Amino acid sequence: MYTALRLQKKLKGELKRGEVKVTIVDPNSYMTYQPFLPEAAAGNISPRHVVVPLRRVLPKCTVRKARVTELNHDEGWAIVQPLAGPPERITYDYLVMAAGAVPRILPIPGLAENGISLKTVGEAIHLRNHVLEQLEIAESTNDEEIRRKALTFVFVGGGFAGVEAVAELEDMTRDATRYMRKVNPQDLRFVLVEAADRILPEVGPDMGKWTAEQLRGRGIDVKMKTFLESAVDGRIELSDGSDFYAGTLVWNAGVKPSPVVKQASLPLDDRGRVKGTEYLTVEGMVRAFTAGDNAAIPDLTTEGEFCPPNAQHAVRQAKLLGDNIVRSLRGKTLKPYVHGNLGAVAGLGLHKGVANPMGFKLKGWPAWFFHRTYHGAMVPTFNRKARVLADWTLALFFKRETVSLATVEQPRAEFQLAALEDTKQKENAA
């Protein structure tokens, strides 16, 4: 989206005259601002406000809601599968491979059947409804085993996604228990599992240690140097010998490039990423560009390293990528991508956070305020900035909504039940 926005701006005249055409092919017709997904899952922001509709912000471009199933760059064509109908073939001159990443799922028994990630707005909505529904299950029964399972929440992965998810959802569930008679905050069990010896490596060892202490102070069991070994039927088995049942398993233990890159016949490294250059071109190919989480782009500020897969780099790469395409069209020299790390920031629930912007260490409320200020400024389009700000402002005066809308997962259930009852009545009457 950011690359297309840049092209739309830089090639305004060419697009108007029909000399250039920009086509975006994506399974979703919107861009997700992923740093806000934990807040959306916790109900601090409306899920609709963390997505940007592509057709609205890219009126000069063609948006195709479809999946790329095959791509031949040498001949300049791609096969796309639309929502309905047969596959279609489209031709192109320049390729931008920016398909992002998907969760890296390990072959752990029960993980695929019981786990959920937090990479999409749909997952954020589902996770919120699911967690609140677990509280409803515990509130509605006296069976201790059922209650214990429902009130146990396991999060695997101690990076940004995992830590922010467990912190935000723990904060939300604690609020929700205020309105319940049989579920108390002491009944909740949150477990964060991390394979490494520290969490939040992006903020540094000291801040990561402080974050772990803060989470433990809130009653969250932070287990480091620990692996998930099994999750069959909700039974969690960890490498430290822990064995218990959990009603919720959230998997945020790393990502891998989108599978579409394998369909493109592009050069890949040993991690499945598209091999890119400092100019954001695909290594050894002409008129092919790449950026973001699916690309291995050299980090010119650190010798021998690649840019980490985060929004800080992806957004800046995308803008330069658009500029370099314009330079290529006009026969100019391409510019290399150089960006020093500005630090990292993470939200840990309402009024809690951790950050190290430009080397400064922030904790608690100041870090939380900086987190909101930074991401409020970075979320694309004025429309979304205003809506997110409105959500935050309303939250200052009104309590958070903690209602489970689990029925949206099966919207036809009541209709089918009514139809079944009618059928039974007719059979009995006969």
Tally the C-alpha atoms within 13 A of residue 120's C-alpha that lie toward its C-beta. Answer: 12
Q: Which helix (H) or strand (E) holds 125?
A: helix 121-139
86 pLDDT more than 80: yes
pLDDT digits (tens, 9 = 90+) for 355-366: 888 778 899 999
151 pLDDT more than 80: yes
Q: Which helix (H) or strand (E) holds 296?
A: strand 295-296
CB within 8 A of 391, min separation 6: which ones?
44, 45, 46, 49
Predicted local confidence at residue 245, as pLDDT: 96
Helix (H, G, I), strand (E, B) or coil at 344: coil
What does pTM read for this prediction? Answer: 0.89
Mean model confidence pLDDT for the chain = 91
Predicted local confidence at residue 187, as pLDDT: 95
Predicted local confidence at residue 322, as pLDDT: 96
CA dist., res. 398 & res. 391, Å (int): 10
428 pLDDT more than 80: no
254 pLDDT more than 90: no
pLDDT digits (tens, 9 = 90+) for 15-34: 999 999 999 999 999 999 98
CA dist., res. 356 & res. 346, Å (int): 9
10 pLDDT more than 90: yes
Predicted local confidence at residue 263, as pLDDT: 82
Predicted local confidence at residue 420, as pLDDT: 84
Of 175, 174, 150, 205, nearest to 344 (Cα)?
A: 205
Predicted local confidence at residue 88, as pLDDT: 95
| Cβ proximity of 291 and 106 under 8 Å | no
Mean pLDDT over 315-338 rounds to 95
Predicted local confidence at residue 342, as pLDDT: 76
pLDDT digits (tens, 9 = 90+) for 287-323: 999 999 999 999 998 888 899 888 889 999 999 999 9
Helix (H, G, I), strand (E, B) or coil at 121: helix
| Cβ proximity of 379 and 36 under 8 Å | yes
Predicted local confidence at residue 398, as pLDDT: 85
Beta strands in 83-231 (DSSP E): 88-91, 95-97, 101-103, 115-116, 152-156, 189-193, 220-223, 228-230
Predicted local confidence at residue 351, as pLDDT: 87
| Cβ proximity of 229 and 238 under 8 Å | yes
Please name every residue paired with 281 in a beta bridge, in sequence order, or none if there are none: 289
Which of 134-148, 332-346, 372-386 has the highest mean predicted lDDT (pLDDT)?
Answer: 134-148
Predicted local confidence at residue 202, as pLDDT: 81
pLDDT digits (tens, 9 = 90+) for 180-196: 999 999 999 999 999 99
84: exposed, middle or buried (C-beta count within 10 Å: 0-12, 13-18, 19+)? exposed
| Cβ proximity of 287 and 314 under 8 Å | no
